[in-house]
Amino acid sequence: MTSSGTNPGALPGSAAWELLLPAASAPARARGRFLQAALREAIRAGRLAPGTRLPSSRELAKDLGVSRGLVTEAYEQLAAEGYLRSGRGAGTWVGGAVRAASPRARDLAPRPRGVRVDFVPGSPDLALFPRAAWAAAQREVLAELPHRDLGYPDPRGLPRLRSALAELLARRRGAVADPERIVVVSGVAQAATLLGFVLHGRGMREIGVEDPGSPQHDGLYAAAGMGTVPLPLDDEGLALRPLFDAGVRAVVTTPAHQYPTGIAYSAERRTRLLDWARSVDGLLLEDDYDGDFRYDRAPVGALQGLDPERVAYMGSVSKSLAPGLRLGWLLVPESLADDVVDRKRTMDLGHPALDQAAFARFLERGDYDRQLRRCQRAYRERRDVLVAALAEHFPHARVSGIAAGLHAIAELPESYGPESRFAERVAAAGVAVRPLGECTHARGDGSVVRLVLGYAQLSPARIREGVRLMAEALQG
């Protein structure tokens, strides 16, 4: 189609041809009607915005291979309806009387609707995000970042960030952290999927998962073609006999603070798990989802530090900064490193360089350590408030798993059960909770109510309000 000069509001030739081509292909008797309908629909849908200049009737007729009279008639009809406007010698334009319905983008983020107090675990307090310090880090790296670092990055991550992460993980988590074996990822979810693809490529088809455990694990590994085998726990961690009987060669674990029970694997159990991995030429996938938050016990070092060749270590800033940053790390055994890096390269060509550089600066300046100390104080207070509120309103409740992490397990007497009915009643009062049964593969609905209560995302006042609303709902 002929160009409409240099007017910025003119209809691009290719766009007009594509919009109107079906009309030009219509049967001869219906061609005028089809052309009018095509123009009308394009204006209603917003594909032709108000103020867009249309080609002259002569130009459009020539490009479409139709008579000029047919185009002139279409223009006159749509002008009479208010879709177009024209002036002698000024051309034809899309009018402003018809307001196209602007398509709205839906928000599919997992946010609760109609909830007054949300105890479902998984999120930190996003109001604690250090906006000023993060903005300062971003400004500084934008000013100093070499131009070459804006190109496609090393799929493992910027060397500067991997070096800073190696120092952090060795110092805070006792990991054996070689920067050459750290891969920067979009959170633990991508780390798990990467490992799933690599293990699948090596012939594995099943992976063991803790039961109870994270509800997300099944879907993550299924995306990589891996089935999951639920493995029960005892008081020390993964139960050994079911593990040996399962026949798997890879297991996902949360040994520092098991999700959701809150137990820490005993030293003996950690040793026995590593013995198992060596005996089957297997791998332990360590999800250190909240390893930096300890209140009433000494920090438990990463399992990876005991045998770096039998443990793949995963962590992120989702609990310490914000899940929306999509920043995490994967520390892989040497035997898997090349395959993981190749898979990361084909998956997304590497993590965004500016985000990596900002986080590296954030680590180097000590801002991350300061953030962890700030969160530690806030979350300890909220844990204490939750325990006190439960004692006040549910005096027979047993609370466990509170020495570390961002959630607690509350076990209530049978008179409050079953779990599903309890959740329904408190939901009617505007309180969202996660029954422990939702974290098991059996999806049980026991008479004893056991709840996984997240408290990090709630202020002390909201925690008190939520527990009070639960008690009032049950009394009603």
Residue 438 scores a pLDDT above 80: yes
CA nearest 172: which of 398, 376, 417? 376
Together in a domain, 154 and 256: yes
> Which backbone phi and psi does 259 adopt, to 5 degrees?
-100, 125
Which of 335, 365, 395 is a domain's end point?
Answer: 365
Q: What is the pLDDT of residue 7?
A: 42
Together in a domain, 261 and 164: yes
Where is pLDDT greater, at 103 or 286? Answer: 286
Q: What is the pLDDT of residue 45?
A: 78
44, part of any domain: yes
Burial (CB < 10 A; 0-12, 13-18, 19+), residue 238, is buried
Residue 84 scores a pLDDT above 80: yes
Q: What is the identity of the amino acid at 87? A: G
Residue 211 scores a pLDDT above 70: yes
Together in a domain, 167 and 302: yes
205, part of any domain: yes
239, part of any domain: yes
Together in a domain, 233 and 217: yes
Per-residue pLDDT, averaged over 174-179, amounts to 96
d(CA 343, CA 332): 13
Together in a domain, 230 and 350: yes
Q: What is the pLDDT of residue 446?
A: 64
Task: Check the CA dihedral 112-115-116-121 and report its sign.
Answer: negative
Q: What is the pLDDT of residue 443?
A: 66
What percentage of residues in the chain have a pLDDT greater than 70?
A: 92
CB 412 within 8 A of CB 422: yes
Per-residue pLDDT, averaged over 453-472, amounts to 96
Q: What is the identity of the amino acid at 279? A: S
Together in a domain, 209 and 264: yes
293, part of any domain: yes
Domains in the chain, number: 3
7, part of any domain: no
The region of weakest confidence among 84-93, 211-220, 363-372, 385-394 is 84-93
Together in a domain, 150 and 258: yes
Together in a domain, 181 and 257: yes
Question: With bands split at pLDDT 50, 70 and 90, how would you rate the model's confidence at 101?
Answer: low
Q: What is the identity of the amino acid at 445? A: D
Together in a domain, 353 and 376: no
Instruction: Determine the Cα angle at 119 with ends 427 and 216, to 5°.
Output: 100
Strands (E), 317-417: 328-331, 398-400, 407-412
Residue 137 scores a pLDDT above 90: yes
Per-residue pLDDT, averaged over 279-295, amounts to 94
| Terminal-to-terminal C-alpha distance of the chain | 72
Q: What is the pLDDT of residue 80?
A: 86
Residue 9 scores a pLDDT above 60: no
pLDDT tens for 368-424 read 999 999 999 999 999 999 999 999 999 999 999 999 999 999 999 888 878 888 999
d(CA 333, CA 197): 15
Q: What is the pLDDT of residue 175?
A: 96
Contacts of 351 (CB under 8 A, 6+ apart): 153, 157, 184, 185, 186, 327
CA nearest 203: which of 327, 339, 311? 339
Domain of 276 in residue numbering reads as: 129-365
198, part of any domain: yes
What percentage of residues in the chain have a pLDDT greater than 90?
A: 68
Q: What is the pLDDT of residue 173?
A: 95
Task: Check the CA dihedral 353-358-361-362 and report its sign.
Answer: negative
In what side-by-side order are the strands of the sheet with 84-87? 53-54, 91-94, 84-87
Q: What is the pLDDT of residue 34?
A: 86
111, part of any domain: no
Q: Characterise 16 by phi-psi region: left (phi > 0), alpha (psi -120 to 50), beta (else).
A: alpha
Supply the pTM of this predicted model: 0.80
202, part of any domain: yes
Q: What is the pLDDT of residue 462?
A: 96
Question: With bands split at pLDDT 50, 70 and 90, how would you rate the model's confidence at 51?
Answer: confident
Residue 244 is inside which H or E element, if any? helix 240-246
Question: With bands split at pLDDT 50, 70 and 90, how would you rate the model's confidence at 4?
Answer: very low
**What dihedral do alpha carbons 185, 186, 190, 194 form, nearest 10°?**
-30
Which of 365, 384, 415 is a domain's end point?
Answer: 365
Alpha carbons within 13 angstroms on the beta-carbon side of residue 138 total: 9
Q: How many helices (H) and strands (E) does the chain have?
A: 15, 17
The overall longest dimension of the chain from CA atoms, in Å, is 91
d(CA 162, CA 182): 6
The region of weakest confidence among 80-94, 230-244, 423-437 is 80-94
Q: What is the pLDDT of residue 285?
A: 98
d(CA 371, CA 358): 15
CB 19 within 8 A of CB 48: yes
Q: What is the pLDDT of residue 13?
A: 46
Per-residue pLDDT, averaged over 349-356, amounts to 95
For residue 76, the domain's CATH number is: 1.10.10.10
Please give the mean pLDDT across all residues of the chain: 89
* 3-class DSSP state of 255: coil
d(CA 176, CA 331): 9
For residue 387, the domain's CATH number is: 3.90.1150.10
Together in a domain, 159 and 236: yes
pLDDT tens for 230-267 read 999 999 999 999 999 999 999 999 999 999 999 999 99
Which of 365, 398, 421 is a domain's end point?
Answer: 365
Q: What is the pLDDT of residue 85?
A: 84
Together in a domain, 136 and 87: no
Together in a domain, 379 and 351: no
